[in-house]
Amino acid sequence: MSALLIDRLQFSFTIMFHYLFPITTIGLAPFVAGYTWKAARHPEDGDAARAAAFWTKIFAINFAIGVVTGIPMEFQFGTNWARFSARSGSVVGQTLALEGVYAFTLESVFLGVLLYGKRYVPPMFHAISSVLVGIGTLLSSFFIVATNAWMQHPVGYHIGPSGKIELDSLAAVLLSPFALWAFLHVLMGAFIAGSFVVAGIGAYYLLSERELALGRRFLRSGVIVAAICTTLAAFPTGDRNAANVTTYQPVKLAAMEGLFTTQRGAPLAIIGMPDTKNGTLIDPIAVPDLLSFLAYSNFRANVKGLDAYAKTLWPPVELTYYAYHIMIGLGTTFSGIAFLAALLLWRGLLYRWRPMLWVLLLVIPFPYIANEAGWVVTEVGRQPWIIYGLMRTSEAPSSTVVAGETMFTLIGFAGMYFMLGVLFLYLVLREIAIGPGSRGAVRPAAEVTA
């Protein structure tokens, strides 16, 4: 295998494993802040304090593993992708530095206060620290997404005499509509994951007939947030992201939809199997004219297919198509589950309807799959460009690193990340098994009310 292929495999593996943990920290941050704030405002509410302590510990475990798995990402820019870094460092170095110096520092310092400062700081300062941890988490994700969004749609730059990309306007990079809508969509995906984790753990406690008051509390807050965020993930954030892809990356749109032929009144494929050899979608189930409407608000609009572009500009069509449909299919499923659970909650049936409790428990892993699939669509669909329209991925690797060296480190990462994954599962499952009630006096089940 070529050095380029191994470089890409290593980066894909390390970033997809790492991404699991920021999803959870972003998704849990509002719950940690909400419970901590309520505990500070209402000292008599012991359950809020126990809930805050429980989710803070889950958050901290994710944060720690996320830091460990994120460090290699920075080094890979210098070791495996030196030509990319040399040419674009004027831009990406700014946003990545902002993430490390400001956002990560804010997040980590106040997480320390949140974990260890409760006995030493006033209750309201402890509550404020939870909010600042959440702000740091959001800022960190924003700077990372802004970096990636610039690679998807470069703005605020010029090409210097030596061919290097020079930054003209940091504000243009940070305030690009492409970056803002991508960031909001990433947030919705993470909030969906976090809300289903909270609701699923609440369902687990109710099914186990323990931690009943806190189980109901987790279930209620998780379901409400899930219903709101699944809606916002589709509109406006998903819709605006799709509009940006349509405008700036139309070949990615064609690959996502399996549209091989330019058409007026292009159909929206619900399912189907792309056949790149023959340029067709096998056994499709499609809604006539709907893609034209979604892309251009006109049922008869002309939508360019893959045939409008040279094959050298096509992304890997099958991977882009299937990842996109996994993301959309799971997102639609999450919306259905969340709204059905919200309806049952409103009717007062959710806490005792065991089939829905089992669904909420078993669905916990699937938002992570949807988030990873969305990442695959974004990154694989951008190919063959590492910086869209400016630099091909084949031009980006280090010239002095050979395939064998990268393969050796990839095997090392796989072993290390396996151990970290086992450690993470052990710590989180141990906390869930202990339960939040152990952090204070536990009321007998007979005294617990809805």
Is 126 part of a structural domain of the chain? yes
Is 85 part of a structural domain of the chain? yes
Distance of CA 24 to the CA centre of its chain: 9
449 pLDDT exceeds 50? no
Is 358 part of a structural domain of the chain? yes
pLDDT in tens, 43-102: 888 899 999 999 999 999 999 999 899 888 888 888 889 999 999 999 998 998 888 888
Average pLDDT over residues 395-422: 91
Q: Which residue has the higher pLDDT, 119 or 314?
A: 314
Give the burial string for 306-337 (b: 16+ CB within 10 Å, else e): beeeeeeebbebebbbbbbbbbbebbeebbeb
According to DSSP, the β-strands at 268-275 and 263-264 are unpaired
The pLDDT, as a whole number, for residue 405 is 87
Distance of alpha carbon 17 from alpha carbon 269, whole angstroms: 30
Which phi and psi angles does 386 have, rounded to 5°? -95, -35
pLDDT in tens, 100-140: 888 888 888 888 888 888 888 888 898 999 999 999 999 99
Distance of alpha carbon 296 from alpha carbon 134, whole angstroms: 37
The pLDDT, as a whole number, for residue 402 is 87
pLDDT in tens, 9-38: 999 999 999 999 999 999 999 999 999 999
The pLDDT, as a whole number, for residue 438 is 64
The pLDDT, as a whole number, for residue 442 is 38
Kindly report the number of other CB atoms within 10 A of residue 72's CB atom.
19
Distance of CA 82 to the CA centre of its chain: 26
Is 415 part of a structural domain of the chain? yes
* CB hemisphere CA count around 267 (13 angstroms): 13
Round the average pLDDT of the chain to a whole number and report it: 91
443 pLDDT exceeds 50? no
| Rounded percentage of the chain residues whose pLDDT exceeds 90 | 77
Is 294 part of a structural domain of the chain? no
Number of compact structural domains in the chain = 1
The pLDDT, as a whole number, for residue 445 is 37
Average pLDDT over residues 185-208: 96
Is 341 part of a structural domain of the chain? yes
pLDDT in tens, 371-386: 999 999 999 999 999 9
Q: What is the dihedral of CA 414, 323, 375, 231, to 10 degrees?
A: -130
- Give the torsion sign (CA, 369, 370, 372, 377): positive
Does residue 236 have a cis bond before it (omega within 30 degrees)? yes
Is 292 part of a structural domain of the chain? no
Residue among 444, 365, 33, 21 nearest 221 (CA): 33
pLDDT in tens, 335-377: 999 999 999 999 999 999 999 999 999 999 999 999 999 999 9
Residue among 72, 82, 73, 8 nearest 403 (CA): 8
Going by pLDDT thresholds of 50, 70 and 90, the confidence category of residue 153 is: very high
Distance of alpha carbon 284 from alpha carbon 58, whole angstroms: 43
Give the burial string for 237-272 (b: 16+ CB within 10 Å, else e): bbebbbbbbbeebbbbbbbbbbbbeebebbbbbeeb
The pLDDT, as a whole number, for residue 450 is 36
The pLDDT, as a whole number, for residue 128 is 92
227 pLDDT exceeds 90? yes
Distance of alpha carbon 290 from alpha carbon 386, whole angstroms: 31
Is 206 part of a structural domain of the chain? yes
DSSP state of 275: E
444 pLDDT exceeds 50? no
Cα distances (angstroms) measured from residue 94 to each of 77, 83, 89, 90, 196: 14, 17, 8, 7, 34
Instruction: Print the domain residue range for 129.
Output: 3-262+304-447
The pLDDT, as a whole number, for residue 317 is 95
251 pLDDT exceeds 50? yes
